[in-house]
Structure formats: structure tokens, C-alpha cells
Amino acid sequence: MVLPRFLILITTSIMLSPHLATAQQPVKDHPLVSRFPGSEVLEYKAVEFDEFPLALGQIIEADKFTKAQRLEGKITKFKYSVPPARSGLEIMRSYQDALQHGGFQVLFRCDGQQCFSDKFQGGYTAPPAASGIWCRNCAEPMRYLAAKLPRAAGDIYVSLVVEKDQYEGGTWLSIIEVKPMEGGLVSVNAAELANDIAQTGHASVYGIYFDTGKAVLKPESDPTLAEISKLLASNAQLKLHVVGHTDNVGTLASNMTLSKQRADAVVAALVTQHHIAAVRLQAAGVGPLAPVATNRSEEGRAKNRRVELVEQ
């Protein structure tokens, strides 16, 4: 793939403060999408696997949009400075042209007031998961673009916010490389589940996997489902509520529905594949209503996305 010159990896790097990167470790641009000439790296973060709500419509409030797509995979985030002599319009159009030349499809783009729903209140908002400050009353109109590069090895998405302002201006570039989570990182066994239920009446399970926004069990869930079936086989009197939980990304109604559908899928797998009597299991979904951590951080949202086994 050949991208226009300014989107080919630039060798220039900048030292970041200790709380953003390891001391003495330079940060380079992403191999696919680099900085606009004259920009400097102000912030940088990369995680191997997390969730990202890609805005495909106007913003309503922090992390909530009229339309969005949940993505999962490797996420790399940059915040670049805006060169004083360059406009936000020039930067956005340069990125858009380069992305389209590189095969990306623009999914959504907005400028200024077009980016804000009538329900939005206030002048600024900073969606932490979406990475970028959305400014309704900037010195220049804020600009946003979402794009997608289809690939057999896994699609790549770009979220770009350009905001030129005297206070919090910058270019926020997030690159999401869609991929499934590596299996086998979290293990659970029947004995641990039994102990948790005996001690607290419930057990949290994190080894059950679904595609983003869907309720179809992924094959990586099989070892955990087998341990739950062992738990039930070891105690013929045990009956469980299987309760689905989500983070608060998206609408309450959609999360409530999704959490119940996922709990239904777990119950169905235990009944059909592991021959557990259906009368011993009852599915429920509470969406984001029972968090175990804050939804303001990526780590907290990951903890809140879970299935719980609750003794009836």
C-alpha cells in the first residue's frame, strides 16, 4: 500500500513526559498514519486489546453518539499539536485525502455544529474512550472523521478529531486494528467458582467472549463453559441465575437488551452442549446497572463487561 508522503512513517520523534511514556523512550508515528508536518506528539497510548466506540453520528454527551460502532482490537492513540500557521481545515483535508489514497473509506465526517446533536448541552466534552475533545465553540470549527480500511487480516479504523483553539487544541488520532482477544489469558475453574458462590452468593466470570455488540458465543468461551458445567455437575442441588453485565458505552436500552441476550446464549450453551437441565438456570441482563469499577476508564469498563453466576 502506498500512501501520500506525509502519511508514510516519519522518523522524527519526541520525548514524552514520564507519565505518558517510559523515560528515554521515543515515540514514533504509526506505520500506517503519521502526523501532519510540523506537529509534535503531546500524548501517546497503545494497548494490545480494548474496546473503542467509533462515532458515526453526532455527539449527545461524553461517549454517547446518535450512531456509533463498537470496535475491539489493538488501539493506538496520539495527540498531536496543531502548527500555528496551519488551519484545522487544511489538516483535516490532508488526512482525508491521504487516507482515501491509501484505500480507506470515509464512514462519517462532520464540521462544527454538524457534529453536535440538539440534545448536547455545553461547549466542550472530552469522550475518554473516543479520544478527543469535541468543542462546540472553538476559535475554528472542530472537525471529525471516521474511516475504515478493509483487510483480510482484520479491518483498520481511524478516528480523527482536529480542533484548533487557544486552550485545548490538538489533533487526536486513534487507530484501531480489529482483532479477536488472545485466548487463555484468564482462566477459571469449578472449585474457584464454588468457593466464590459459597462465600458471597455469586461469582464473576470473565472467560466468556462475544463479538462486539453481539450475543453469539466465541469458541474461546468453551473452556470456561466447561468449568461452569463441572460446577453444576458437582452440586446437583445448585441452581443459578446467569446474569449478563455491560459497561455504559451506548444507550441503556441497547445494553439492557444485549446483556440479556448474552446471558441467554450462555444458558443455551450449557443446556445444549453440556446437558445441564434448563430448570437449573435462569438468564437475566442488567446492562450497566451493577458496575464493579468506574466506567470512566478503559480498565474499569473491561471489568464491568462480565457474566455473573448468582445462586438462586
Print burial letters for 282-311: b (CB count within 10 Å at least 16), e (below 16): ebebbbbeebeeebeebeebbbbbbbbbbe
Is the model's pLDDT at 22 over the cut of 90? no
| pLDDT tops 90 at residue 275 | yes
The residue with greater pLDDT, 139 or 49, is 49
**257 pLDDT exceeds 80?**
yes
Examine the pLDDT at 295 and tell me if it is beyond 90. no
AA letter at 76: T
Domain termination site, one of 178, 198, 223: 178
Q: Do 155 and 255 have their domain in common? A: no
The reply to whether 168 falls in a domain is yes
Buried b (16+ CB within 10 A) or exposed e, 246-270: bbbbbeeeebbbbbbbbbbbbbebb
- Same domain, yes or no: 24 and 75: yes
Q: Which residues contact 23 (CB under 8 A, 6 or more apart)?
A: none
Domains contained in the chain, number: 2
Angle formed by the axes of helices 190-200 and 222-234, nearest 10°: 60
CA distances from 225 to 66, 208, 269, 275 (A): 35, 8, 8, 12
Does one domain contain both 124 and 258?
A: no
Report yes or no on 185 lying in a domain: no
Q: Are residue 61 and residue 151 in the same domain, yes or no?
A: yes
Q: Please check whether residue 183 lies inside any domain of the structure.
A: no
CATH number of the domain where residue 253 is located:
3.30.1330.60
pLDDT of the residue at 212: 75
Most confident of the ranges 44-48, 123-127, 237-241, 304-308: 237-241
pLDDT, mean of residues 257-282: 96
How high is the pLDDT of residue 184? 53
Q: In terms of pLDDT, which residue wins out, 135 or 143?
A: 143
Same domain? For 120 and 240 the reply is no
Out of 47-51, 119-123, 263-267, pick the least confident.
119-123
Together in a domain, 162 and 196: no
Q: Write down the pLDDT at residue 183.
A: 54
Residues contacting 20, CB < 8 A, separation 6+: 43, 44, 45
Q: Among residues 158, 178, 198, which one ends one of the domains?
A: 178
Identify the pLDDT of residue 122: 73
Contacts of 163 (CB under 8 A, 6+ apart): 82, 88, 132, 133, 134, 135, 138, 140, 142, 143, 169, 170, 171, 172
Instruction: Tell me what percent of the residues of the chain surpass a pLDDT of 70.
Output: 88
Instruction: Quote the pLDDT of residue 100.
Output: 94
pLDDT at 19 over 50: no
| C-alpha span between 102 and 263 (Å, rounded) | 41
In terms of domains, do 207 and 268 share one?
A: yes
What confidence score (pLDDT) does residue 232 get?
95
Instruction: Give the domain CATH number at 148.
Output: 3.40.1000
Model's pTM, two decimal places? 0.59
> And the C-alpha cell for 181?
482477544
Average pLDDT of the chain?
85
**Do residues 249 and 204 share a domain?**
yes
**Range of 86-100, 110-124, 142-156 with top mean pLDDT:** 86-100
Are 26 and 172 in a shared domain? yes
Q: Give yes or no for residue 108 having a pLDDT over 80.
A: yes
Residues 255 and 198 in one domain: yes
Whole domain around residue 285: which residue ranges? 190-311
Confidence bin at 17 (pLDDT 50/70/90): very low
What angle is formed at CA 92 by the lines to CA 90 and CA 96, rounded to 5 degrees?
Answer: 115
Q: Do 22 and 152 fall within a single domain?
A: yes
Domain boundary among 116, 146, 178: 178
Q: Mean pLDDT throughout 225-229?
A: 93
pLDDT in tens, 156-199: 999 999 998 776 689 999 999 987 655 555 568 899 899 899 99
Question: How many residues are listed for the chain in this entry?
Answer: 312
| Band of residue 259 on the pLDDT scale cut at 50, 70, 90 | very high
